[in-house]
Amino acid sequence: MRLGLVLTEVGQGLRRNLSMVISVVLVTFISLTFVGAAVLLQMQITQMKSYWFDRAQVAVYLCTEFSTVGGCDQQAATPDQVALVQAQLESETLAPFIDTFYFETQEEAFERFQDQFAGQAVADLITPELLPQAFWVNLVDPTQSDILVDALGGLVGVESIVDQRSYLEQIFAILNAASFTAIGIAALMLVAAALLIATTIRLSAFSRRREIGIMRLVGASNRFIQTPFIIEGVVAALIGSVLAGLAVVGIVQFFVQGYLAQTLPLTSFVGLQDALLVVPILLAAGAVLAALSANVAITRYLRV
C-alpha cells in the first residue's frame, strides 16, 4: 500500500468536507470533555471520601433544658451525667475503639457556631443555652460508630449520637449523581459523534464515487479503498480528543488548583497528574470511536 497516495486521498477528503470535519471535531471535543470531567469527578469523589471519612467524628450531644428527645425531659445534663459519659468513653470496653475525644462546652459550641455562620441572620438568633454540650469522638475505625450508639444511646443525659459520615454520604450521593449525569450526557454525545463521523465518511465516499469506481476497476483491494476514509475519521476525532484533553488539563490547572484549592485549603483536590492520566484515555477513546464508525460506514457504502 502506497503511503503517499493514501495520505493524499486523506488530505483531499478533509478539504472537500471541511464543514463536516469541523462538526466532527466539535462534537468529539464536547463529548470527550464530558467524559474527562466525569472521570475526574469520580477521582475527586474517591479522594474526598478517603480524606473526609478518615476525619469524620461522632458527636455525642448532651441534653439541654430545651431537649425533649433521647434521654432528655427538658432537663440539662448534670455534671454527674457528663462525668458518666466520659467514664464510659474511657472505659476498657470503648477505649480500644476510640482514637481521641474531647469535650465541648455550650460556650465553645456557641463560639464555633458564630465563626461558621458569621454575617448570617441566624447567628443573631442563637444563644449558648440553645446549643448542647458534646463529646466529639474520633474512632480508630470510623465505620464502627454503632458501638458508641449501643453503649451511650441509653444513658440519661444523652440527647443523640450523630455520625458525621451520614452527612458526608448525602453530599457524595449528590456528587455521584452529578458524575452519572455527566457520563449519560457524554454517552449521548459520543453516539452523536459516531453517527456524525459515519455520515461524514459516507458523504466523502459519495463525493469520490468516481475515483472509487476507477480503483475497483484496476483491482484495488477494499482495504486500500477503506484506509483513507478511516484515517480521515480518526484525524478529525483525534483533533477533538486533543482539544478535550487540553480543556480537562486547563480546568484542573486553572479552576480546581488555581481557585478551589486556594479557596478550600483543607480539602484534597485532583491535581495536574490526575488530569494527565485522563488525557490518554480521551485520545484512545476518540481514535477507537472514529476508527470503528468510519470502518462500518465505508464498509456498508462499498457493499451497496
- Helices 3-16 and 165-207 meet at what angle, rounded to 10? 100
Supply the pLDDT for residue 247. 95
Section 8-19 average pLDDT: 69
Res. 280 pLDDT band, cuts 50 70 90: very high
Question: 171 near 53, Cβ under 8 Å?
Answer: no
Res. 10 pLDDT band, cuts 50 70 90: low
Supply the pLDDT for residue 201. 80
Res. 3 pLDDT band, cuts 50 70 90: low
User: Over the stretch 21-74, which tens digit does the pLDDT of each residue have?
Assistant: 888 888 889 889 988 988 898 888 888 877 777 678 899 999 988 887 766 877
Supply the pLDDT for residue 13. 62
In degrees, rounded to 5, the angle at the alpha carbon of residue 287 between the alpha carbons of residues 284 and 289 is: 105
Give percent of the chain above pLDDT 90: 24
How far is it, in rounded angstroms, from Cα 114 to Cα 123?
6
User: Over the stretch 120-160, which tens digit does the pLDDT of each residue have?
Assistant: 777 788 888 889 999 999 988 888 888 998 888 888 888 98
User: Over the stretch 192-220, which tens digit does the pLDDT of each residue have?
Assistant: 888 888 888 887 777 777 877 877 777 77
**Backbone phi, then psi, for 63, in 5-degree steps?**
-70, 145
Closest CA to 290 of 224, 241, 225: 241
Section 72-99 average pLDDT: 90
pTM of the model: 0.69
Question: What is the number of alpha carbons within 13 Å of residue 99 lying toward its C-beta?
Answer: 14
Supply the pLDDT for residue 44. 86
- Other beta carbons within 10 angstroms of residue 37's beta carbon come to 22
Res. 82 pLDDT band, cuts 50 70 90: very high
Picking from 34-38, 210-214, 247-251, 291-295, which range would have the lowest pLDDT averaged per residue? 210-214
Q: Could you tell me the domains of the chain? A: 3-53+169-303 (no CATH), 57-141 (3.30.70.3040)
